[in-house]
Structure 1
Amino acid sequence: MAEELAVVRPALLPRYTAELPGARAAVLTRLWRALAHEPLPWITGRVRGAHSLALHLADGRTLYGPHADPYATSAYVTGVRLDRERQVDPAGLMTALAVPHAAAFAAELAGSVASLALSRADAEHAKEWPEQDWAWEQRVTDGHPFHPNCRSRPGFSVAEQLAYGPEHRPLVELGTVPVPADECLVSGDWPAELRDGGRVLVPVHPWQAEHVLKRSYAPWRPARPLLSLRTLAPADGPHVKTALSTRLTSSVRDISLYSVRAAAPLSALGEELAARTDGLLHITRTLGAVSAHSPDLAALLRESPQGYAGPGERVVPVAALATTGLPEARGWLAAFTRLALTVGLRLLDLGVALEAHGQNLLVILAADGTPVRLVYRDLADIRISPARLARHGIAPPPLTGRLITDDETALRRKLFGSLVGGALAGTAGSGPALGAALSAALPGLPDTPDLRALREGPLPAKALTLMRLSPGTPGDQWTSLPNPLVLEPGPSDQ
């Protein structure tokens, strides 16, 4: 990356080089969290000492490092020791561990470090709060707060990261590819602007057109990339979610036929659910979706969250809250936590578990910074319980497949893992801060079985590193983290 940067943006090279040690520590901290808390089969024991944690490996070696706060976002791990050898680079550590699939994962970790250093090197540190919704998304440099692949962007050159990454503040020229209408699946209302006689014009990301579709496209309109990279905000009109068929963090970001078929019924369900939250939640509508019967050539048009802000209010992705200084203000984190749990638990009781991580969940702030309402976007990975919906007189959407389950464990994992272990933990920045916010927020919430499960049990979280090291196992894999309310070691720390 340094060699490419010296060609395409040489003035940035000194800052990139200066950011590399911090980027290594940030990714190593995320990796150490996984080693300390995930059910990795080649770790046979974990022993907590007075000042450190020892991980016993199946091959007889021992890995030593600091006690691992599973909710910490600071880069507090600058090195660990594998037997007598000190490791400061996460890719080097994974290579030295030499476990199954370590080589591929090590390459991803190296890419994550390099991309994170590039993001931080090119960051703007404006103190003024932006007015535009997309400008908030540009302030987030570090990506996923707990995934070692927080900035992994395989297949992107340095020039392409600078041209398409939201933290680099580019303007991306979206294009369209014409497809005969009878060869398309359309859900919802597809606008006349994106039709041409008997053809549907499918919006495409320029990276996708060049590297995956390998075909030309007609320029359509410029847009600002959002946190998800493949979703962009034009100057006016709805946001555009495009297919971007590369693996970012854990998933390949194409758009399945299932997602396109489900878009309209999910949007209708979202409107009905939002109406039952006493005005505390808005769910952005999906206006239209299209697929050329290929996950590589598909798009969704979705309402901008900005439309739900009143005079003087700002809509901020939860992932960007750390840039505001608000979480450090007295009582603010507890108020936000109470708002988020009130809404999340209410929808869970109704029958829908949101994937409410810091990218999908946004908060509407009053002029003085008070959190007043929430906005949720992207219903593509929620979980829906027909039985719970029916208990509340809500007709389940006409859907089958992965979104539909009545399994309470699956429903609670989806919400608690994303909202508490993701959005709230990432905002709090540490286990003690998260525990204090939960302790202040939970009293007064309706006493439901879901709330009791949150209060009394360990916290479910995706085993993100285990998933990357298990390429033959489809779907999510899970671990249990110590409950932040009690801050006692969980099973993985015994």
Structure 2
Amino acid sequence: MLLTSRALSADDATATALLNCLVREVCAPEQQLWVDGPRLLMRLPRVGVALRTGLARPPAGPTYRITAPFEERRDDGWIEAGWERLADLVAGELELAAGHANPEFLAQVAGSRRTLAALLEARPDVPGGDPYIESEQSLLAGHRFHPSPKARQGDPADWLPYSPETRARFKPHWLAVRADAVVEEGDPRAFARLGAPPLPEHLRAGHALLPAHPWQLALLADLPVYRRAVAAGIVHDLGPCGPEAAPTSSVRTAYLPDADVFCKFSLDVRITNCVRKNAWYELAGAVALDRLLGPVFARFEDCTLLAEPAYRSVALADRRLHEGLGVILREGVRGLPGTPLLSAALADPYGTLLPELPALASADGAQAWWERYVRLVARPVLRAFLDHGVVLEPHLQNVLVTVDGDGMPVRAVFRDLEGTKLTAGRWDLSHLPARVREAVTYDAALGWNRVVYCLMVNHLAEVAAAVADLHPELEDGLWRALGADLAASPHADRPQVRALLAGVPFPAKANLRTRWMRAADRSAAYVPARNPLAARPGACVSRAESR
């Protein structure tokens, strides 16, 4: 079964995400999971309900490729279990496990399903012309292991015009801000690359241009401090103009292809997990990390860390405006060798990008593609952590891979300094404010968990599964190739890598439990997931009794 050929429905995608979370965070850790031929059976241990799904193939990695139908055991038979029933069952299980309710949970799941339905209805059929932008805007179903991957605050009329899934384009909303009300760090010349509209003649002296996200500005425009600043001539509203921007997979970060610059806007809107604003310490932290990490990654030959050279905002008497209008600039992708593609688009089981790459047409080509991909993505991440104390966050939406004309990987590109951290004690950060230091550092053990989860579980396991969707006979060999590359890497003798090769379980981020507990992402728990790098065939999966 090729999952890349599956049609996407909001109901099935919502059910699949819930069950993926249930398998990873409840049933597998508590040994309530069985493979029964072409089906996966699971039991919710506290509510005492048995469920089953289709299974595309026997599992090789830490995750399962589950498929419809989704069914619940009733008396002596099986009946269909829709997404609403599954959400109720999951909520009941988590309430008993945690000892408390979460009144927001079911509404978040339902909201995510409504969002996906609206996106499917609004998405144009005709793809865009730029393969990179198309890859950024292809993620309709979102995170496969999140209970509400498309949760998005607000009315669809507010966010559809700015949604990557609708292949949207929009013009940034430009403000002219009096110089004494501008706050910025980094290289101010970076803003000159944006192709901003010319300032009106009477504002050319003593004013700076600030791009704003139109959705965000609509949320902030009625704040009294902002209105007084406009009335006093401190801020001048120039309206939407200048070059078009294409929203990327994160929604709030937009790419201006004509300028080849990304603008990471603030959005005071909850998307999936959290409100997507640029906190003041994240604005300062981005520029601080850029200065520290630039010299380090300049020595890395086969990867790129996209620079974030500057931010700009307003200095008005309301922190909501300083954070809400803060924009971080990120360098673009046009100077990279090959065609950049978002890794999440390559791994998307509902997508078509991976099958379209000529290099994957044959099993031998797909194996060679994977071996190149692993080397380019995994080795820089391990080198950054083990040699330099840098915690990259290489999850699928934070990595681009450039490819040549046949689709063979050429270079790995890492982005988003908000998720990048420094190992505490490895760097001199005494020049930074205490809150910024706190925001840019991780404890070493927490950092390693984050690296292994993002790299192995979130990223490589999903790409391997997508390759195996095309060539199922390869899946075991893909993991053997990953293990061989780690064993041949310059860091094979490090204790952390040796532990991975010995089969120590992977840490998998517990998105379902984190949502139930309403915890911050930084405080997310991890659950053990199967590490197949040293596993014998069949060692970790038990067979169900005949039913």
TM-score range, shorter chain: 0.7 to 0.9
- Please report the TM-score for the alignment, with normalisation by the length of structure 2: 0.74
In structure 2, what residue type is equivalent to 1:210? A
Partner of 2:291: 268
Matched residue of 1:308: which SS?
coil
> What's the TM-score, normalizing by structure 1?
0.81
Q: Confirm or deny: 8 A CA contact 2:62 2:529 kept in the other structure.
A: no
Could you say which structure has the larger radius of gyration? 2
> After superposition, where does 1:142-157 map in structure 2 within 5 Å?
142-157=141-156
Structure 1 residues 438, 296: CA separation in 2 closer, same or farther (over 3 Å shift)?
same
Cα pair distance change 1:142/1:440, threshold 3 Å: farther
Say yes or no: does 1:373 pair with 2:411. yes
Does residue 445 (structure 1) correspond to residue 523 (structure 2)? The answer is no
CA distance in 2, matches of 1:382, 1:107: 31
Confirm whether residue 417 of structure 1 aligns to residue 453 of structure 2: yes
- Give how far 1:132 is off: 5.2
Aligned to 2:472: none
* Partner SS for 1:38: helix
Opposite residue 306 of structure 1, the aligned amino acid is R
| 1:134-149 matches, cutoff 5 A | 134-149=133-148
1:192-233 deviation digits (Å, cap 9, x = unpaired): 659865454432212212235447952243211111111112
CA RMSD of aligned residues (A): 3.5
Structure 1 window deviating more from structure 2 (86-95 vs 335-344): it is 86-95
* Letter in structure 2 aligned against 1:423: H
Contact 2:20-2:144 within 8 A present in 1 as well: no
Q: Secondary structure of 2:309's partner?
A: strand
- Once residues 204 and 87 of structure 1 are traced to their aligned partners in structure 2, the CA distance between those partners, rounded to angstroms, is 47
Greater Cα shift, 358-367 or 24-33: 24-33
Distance 1:44 1:333 in 2: 32
> Residues 277-297 of structure 1, C-alpha deviation per residue, up to 9 Å, x if partnerless?
2x2111111131124443322
Superposition pairs for residues 27-42 of structure 1, below 5 Å?
A: 27-38=14-25
Q: Quote the residue 1:458 is aligned against.
A: 505
The Cα of 1:465 is off from its aligned counterpart by 0.8
Greater mean deviation of Cα atoms: 71-80 or 163-172: 71-80
The reply on whether 1:303 has 2:331 as its aligned counterpart is: yes
**Residues 144 and 150 of structure 1 are in contact (CA less than 8 Å); yes or no, is this contact kept in structure 2?**
yes
Q: Is the 8 A contact 1:334 1:437 kept in 2?
A: yes
Shift of residue 80, structure 1, vs aligned partner:
3.7
The one of 70, 74, 81 equivalent to 2:72 is 81
Whether the aligned pair in 2 keeps the contact of 1:48 and 1:67 (CA below 8 Å) is no
Structure 2 Cα separation of the partners of residues 135 and 49 of structure 1: 37
Give the 5 Å matches for 1:250-399: 250-277=273-300, 279-292=301-314, 293-294=319-320, 295-309=323-337, 313-322=338-347, 323-325=353-355, 326=357, 329-349=366-386, 350-385=388-423, 387-388=425-426, 398=432
Q: Kindly tell me: are residues 242 and 436 of structure 1, through their superposed partners in 2, closer, same or farther at Cα, counting changes over 3 Å?
A: same
Change (3 A) 1:167 1:374: same
* Alignment match, 1:207: 215
Residue 437 of structure 2 is matched in structure 1 by 400
Specify whether residues 471 and 181 from structure 1 end up closer, same or farther in structure 2 by C-alpha distance, changes over 3 A only.
farther
Task: Give the match for residue 223 of structure 1.
Answer: 245
What residue ranges of structure 1 are gaps of 5+ in the alignment? 1-17
**Deviation larger for 260-269 or 325-334:** 325-334
Instruction: Give the paired residue count.
Output: 460
Deviation of the 1:314 alpha carbon: 0.4
Aligned-residue offset at 1:81: 1.8
| Alpha-carbon offset, residue 184 of structure 1 | 4.5
Deviation readout 1:399-420 (Å, 9 max, x if unpaired) = 510321342x212112111122
Question: CA, structure 1 residues 315+19, in 2 after alignment: closer, same or farther (shift >3 Å)?
Answer: closer
Counterpart secondary structure, 1:172 = coil
Query: Which runs of 4 or more aligned residues in structure 1 lie more than 6 Å from their structure 2 counterparts after TM superposition?
Result: 124-127
Structure 2 segments unaligned to the other structure (5+ residues): 1-5, 228-236, 348-352, 469-474
Contact 2:131–2:341 (CA under 8 A) maintained in structure 1: no
Which segment is superposed worse, 161-170 or 461-470? 161-170
Q: Is the 8 A contact 2:17 2:147 kept in 1?
A: yes
The structural deviation recorded for 1:332 is 1.2
Code of the residue aligned with 2:87 in structure 1: it is M
Is the CA contact 1:180–1:200 (under 8 Å) kept in the aligned structure 2?
yes
* Residue 467 of structure 2 is aligned to residue 476 of structure 1: no
Residue of structure 2 equivalent to 1:12: none
Report if aligned partners of 1:174, 1:206 keep a CA contact under 8 Å in 2: yes
Q: Does the 8 A contact of 2:53 with 2:69 survive in 1?
A: no
